[in-house]
Amino acid sequence: MKITRIATLLALSASVLTVAGCKDVLDKTDLSAASEELAYQNEQVAFLNLSYIYDQNLPGWFGQSGTGIGATNPSILSEEAAGDSPYLQGTVQQNTVTDFGTGLAAASNANYTKIRTINMFIRSISKSPIPAQPRNALKGEALFFRAWRYFDLVRVYGGVPLVLTPQDAVGEDARAAAYLPRNTTTECFNQITADLDSAIAYLPGKYSGNGTWGRITSGAAAAFKARALLTAASPQFNPSDDATKWQKAFAASQQAKAILSANGFGLFTSAGANSYSQLWFQEVNNPEAVMVTGFNTVANGTQPAKNNQYDNSTRPSYTGTGGGSNRPTWDLVQAFPMLDGKKPGESTRYPYTVQQFYKNRDPRFSQTIAFNGATWPLNGNNNYKIWTYLRLSGTTATSVEPVPASATPTSFYLRKAISPTAPANAVNIVGTDWIEIRYAEVLLNLAEAACGVGNLTEAYTQLRAIRARAGIESGGGEYGLQPGMSRAQMFDAILYERQIELAFEGKRFWDLRRWKKMETLNGKRREGLIITLKTTGVPADFATNRDNLDLDFVYTNYFTLTTTPTSNVPLVRVLDTPANFTNGGILWRPEYYFFALPQQAIDNNPKLAQTNGWPGGSFDPQL
């Protein structure tokens, strides 16, 4: 695994940030009063401070920020996976969502605490004697992360107080100055755009030299700007379908694609038919990796080990040291298109049957979903096959997985970004990087924004590019897309494509929320598939010879498949617990599109207004 400059310097950055707290009695300079002057004298030392900002703000796997709703894996907030959550149980209270914190300065991992650190850096680097370039580039990276933090707040709450300079921390005057009202949502998006425009102007399109992998580029800033403005144009923030918001998102998406393409970014295609699954494993010069969080496998000198934990927690527990989480649901399995790009049941070329659900699917299916009987290279064994079926003994069903107690409850595992070569005794230190923004998302954002302005030709172009890379059959150049779609139909097609292309990448929940489609999940019980070995007609040596048998024959003759819970199968593969959900299913309430500010935050700042739709709310988050 690579050793990045950012990862190498992070271990030192905290000590540099606190250097002003030390004083040598033999030194006539009071270091406590000279912190900015000392810490920003040259690029190398200033970058140590910037590395701390990277460490505080880069998202973890699934795009998680670690605070409030950002501490929840968003995959369990949609039909991708299942898990107990107040967000889908209809039990969110005013103090449930704590992303805002309890004031403008709270715990070290709070948004406004991170914003304060960023503002301090911006103020200091602006006064630094470092030459204009690289000084502006360092500032551009900090501006990117300030926009990142405000976007994280705005998509949760709507408008929040904009704090653009470090606030004083001592005295009554300072306390009064900290009583800031909420800025409008429009003002917040304008500030996010302004910070990112500056970042785009300041940053290089691509870094050269060793140790720069993972640093924010102008293309990353432009791509994030497109994501932010697409959110602003979506129905959550744009209920009147204001054309000017779509036009801004379209222009930003065009800019992002142009900058990235000019600097060698593009869809990852070098692994041929397996490009979609292999794109996670090329680092440093990966053309699809627009914004990444770097991980590494080993500690080396000043570099601490930073393992992603995703691989170990996701693969079957018996193939590593733990895990078995992030299991895809039957709902997601059924969503993938057929090989010709048509939805299951709509394709005439490839008829769909539940009994052979895996046949003739979009190639992304088998590169995302590990299913019963699938060949799944693991632990360096390219021929490994996974089996997850149930075996009946009387009325008792037991999984055939080596550790039945930790067997998948859905019959499926997630194989996206799981290393095929990591040995079983080392999967807890896998260092695969998290790609927060992929070039594929840039194209999907462009398609959606183009649809928003009525340019359906552009939307078709981007969807075709995504589907062509995936390996869907051309079908005369349409790749399964319905010709002549209306604007509304195209929007639906794009959201569908995002569901498949970006599965388990932390995007689905936010897509459904910004499109105000979370209610479409109401009443849904996210299901698993029950695959049971028949008790008659199965060869006695099936367990030892199954890897050598034709899979279609096995499914047709030896397995019973059902998604309906039955009383005689104790290991029922339905994930949501009826006791936790109204009518046994999801319950999303309309006020959750803009969450309430915590009461303690309002108590600490009398100028804060509560969000409409919550008790005492007067703040309109759509203005």
3-state helix, strand, coil in the chain (%, to 5): 45, 10, 45
Q: What pLDDT shows up at residue 527?
A: 86
Which segments of the chain have a pLDDT < 50? 1-5, 7-34, 103-105, 564-583
Cα 613-619-623 angle, rounded to 5 deg = 105
Q: What pLDDT shows up at residue 426?
A: 87
Q: What pLDDT shows up at residue 35?
A: 58
Q: How far is the C-alpha of 354 from the C-alpha of 368, rounded, in Å?
A: 18
Cα 343-345-347 angle, rounded to 5 deg = 65
Q: How far is the C-alpha of 324 from the C-alpha of 511, rounded, in Å?
A: 26
In 3D space, the residue among 615, 618, 580, 619 whose CA is nearest the CA of residue 95 turns out to be 615
Q: 110, 604 in Cβ contact below 8 A? A: no
Q: How far is the C-alpha of 494 from the C-alpha of 198, rounded, in Å?
A: 30
- Residue bearing tokens 């075996």: 391
Q: 295, 214 in Cβ contact below 8 A? A: no
Q: How far is the C-alpha of 15 from the C-alpha of 415, rounded, in Å?
A: 39
In 3D space, the residue among 117, 98, 81, 105 whose CA is nearest the CA of residue 156 turns out to be 98
76: its two tokens: 């369990």
Q: DSSP string spanning 214-248?
A: T---HHHHHHHHHHHHHHHHSTTT-TT--HHHHHH
195: its two tokens: 């910070």
Amino acid making up residue 503: A
Pairing of strands 413-414, 559-562: unpaired
Q: 566, 395 in Cβ contact below 8 A? A: no
Query: CA separation (Å) from 496 to 206, 330, 342, 468?
Result: 32, 16, 11, 16
User: Under 8 Å CB-to-CB from 567, ≥6 apart: which residues?
Assistant: none
Q: What pLDDT shows up at residue 40?
A: 85
Q: DSSP string spanning 129-151?
A: -S-HHHHHHHHHHHHHHHHHHHH
Q: What are phi and psi of 173, to 5 degrees?
A: -60, -40
Burial label, 30 (beta-carbon count in 10 A; 0-12, 13-18, 19+):
exposed
Q: What pLDDT shows up at residue 4?
A: 45
What torsion, rounded to 10 degrees, do the Cα atoms 212, 218, 222, 227 define?
A: 20
Q: How far is the C-alpha of 549 from the C-alpha of 552, rounded, in Å?
A: 9
In 3D space, the residue among 3, 1, 2 whose CA is nearest the CA of residue 302 turns out to be 3
Tens of pLDDT, residues 279-311:
999 988 899 999 999 998 875 555 667 888 899
> Helix, strand, or coil here: 361?
strand
Q: What pLDDT shows up at residue 314?
A: 94
β-bridge mates for residue 393, sequence order? 396
The H or E element containing residue 414 is strand 413-414
> Helix, strand, or coil here: 250?
helix
Amino acid making up residue 369: I
Q: How far is the C-alpha of 77 from the C-alpha of 83, rounded, in Å?
A: 8
The torsion region of residue 537 among left (phi > 0), alpha (psi -120 to 50) and beta comes to: left
Alpha helices in 203-329 (DSSP H): 218-233, 243-262, 275-278, 310-314
Q: How far is the C-alpha of 517 from the C-alpha of 521, rounded, in Å?
A: 8
- CA 253: distance to chain centroid? 19
Q: How far is the C-alpha of 379 from the C-alpha of 383, rounded, in Å?
A: 10
Q: 10, 51 in Cβ contact below 8 A? A: yes
Amino acid making up residue 81: A
Q: How far is the C-alpha of 433 from the C-alpha of 453, rounded, in Å?
A: 35
What torsion, rounded to 10 degrees, do the Cα atoms 190, 192, 195, 197 define?
A: -70
Q: 527, 574 in Cβ contact below 8 A? A: yes
Domain boundaries, the chain: 309-429+522-588
What is the 8-class DSSP label of residue 327? P
The H or E element containing residue 123 is helix 111-126
The H or E element containing residue 120 is helix 111-126
3-state secondary structure string across 480-500: CCCCCCCHHHHHHHHHHHHHH
> Helix, strand, or coil here: 592?
helix
Q: 597, 96 in Cβ contact below 8 A? A: no
> Helix, strand, or coil here: 560?
strand
